[in-house]
Amino acid sequence: MKTLIEKINKLKKEKNAIILAHCYQKPEIDFVADFVGDSLKLSQEAAKTNADIIVFAGVYFMAQTAKTLSPEKKVLLPNVHSGCLMADMVNKEQIIEFKKQHPGVTTVCYINTTAEVKAECDICVTSSNAIRVVRALNKDKILFLPDANLGRWIEKNCKGTEVIKYAGCCPTHMDITVSELEKIKKEYPNGVILMHPECSEESLEAADFIGSTTEIMDYVKNSKEKEFIIATELGVMQRLVRDYPDKNFYLATPKAVCPNMKKNNLEDILHVLETEENEIIVEDTLIEKSLLPIRRMLEIK
């Protein structure tokens, strides 16, 4: 592994490249990463740099977002097969049909959507800012896609706004079931349950705290508690275990592993750096259109 890391770091320098690693990636990717974090933040950090190449160790829509925010840079995805199962549940035709069924209603999309879908939406949200953005919109009704669970959580926290939800979900977070949570809570009764809002409504009833990846990590950082049950993807727990050796973490279920996020590895990163294969191409007009909902979101303070 050491030689692989050395080779990647050497090529990074030679090609003026940076590597972004989403928190759900395999932990060894952090050894070569310039930035580790949530998807939008990573793309924003990359846009601030003068790198010529961005290697995005994440899933397809994330690399597309990075390209949208840095159109002048070459963006490479280590493994072409790493798509987000949730983002793939809605395509351009489906969003157009969804809007047709509810004419005139503001369309809010989760960041976990392709550029083609974002281009059809009014405004974008992340799991960190969704409640704040929807409250600021102050609408009686919105359309939300693709994650129905996140949509329900937004509706619960934005009184006065009806959320018409698209029927998408994250299969990985759906695997964190009520019975799995009951089982682990019995084993670790002092464990504070930290959950991602992509989990089902029934499961979220068990949560002590609900938040995005960043918010979950911040919760642990600021908490005096010592034991935590992590009800989100394995990668988050692995980073918490590394960063807080004096605290104990238990994964809500061994099934909380996103198979597509784990497709990228160090060999793939070296390969795309060498060959510059798997480049993400987004047409200029699509960049412009898909950037609009992101810009509108960022304007809401």
Q: List residues binding ligand SF4 (CB under 6 A).
A: 59, 84-86, 112, 170, 172, 233, 258, 260-261
CA 88 to centroid of chain Cα atoms? 14
**Cα–Cα dist 146/292, whole Å:** 18
- 244 closest CA partner among 214, 212, 222: 222
Least distance (Å) between residue 186 CB and ligand SF4: 26
**Cα–Cα dist 207/194, whole Å:** 6
- CA dist list (Å): 295 to 59, 66, 101, 219, 231: 22, 14, 26, 28, 31
Closer to ligand SF4 by Cβ: residue 33 or 51: 33
Under DSSP, the state recorded for 279 is: B
What end-to-end distance do the CA atoms of the chain give, in Å? 43
Strand extents, DSSP E, 128-246: 141-145, 162-165, 192-195, 209-210, 227-231
Closer to ligand SF4 by Cβ: residue 146 or 191: 146
Closer to ligand SF4 by Cβ: residue 51 or 169: 169
Closer to ligand SF4 by Cβ: residue 212 or 260: 260
- CA dist list (Å): 123 to 22, 27, 200, 289: 23, 33, 24, 11
Least distance (Å) between residue 201 CB and ligand SF4: 17
**Cα–Cα dist 121/110, whole Å:** 10
Closer to ligand SF4 by Cβ: residue 17 or 148: 148
- CA dist list (Å): 61 to 113, 182, 193, 259, 270: 6, 34, 29, 15, 21
Least distance (Å) between residue 78 CB and ligand SF4: 14
Least distance (Å) between residue 4 CB and ligand SF4: 24
Closer to ligand SF4 by Cβ: residue 120 or 233: 233
Least distance (Å) between residue 62 CB and ligand SF4: 8
Least distance (Å) between residue 197 CB and ligand SF4: 11
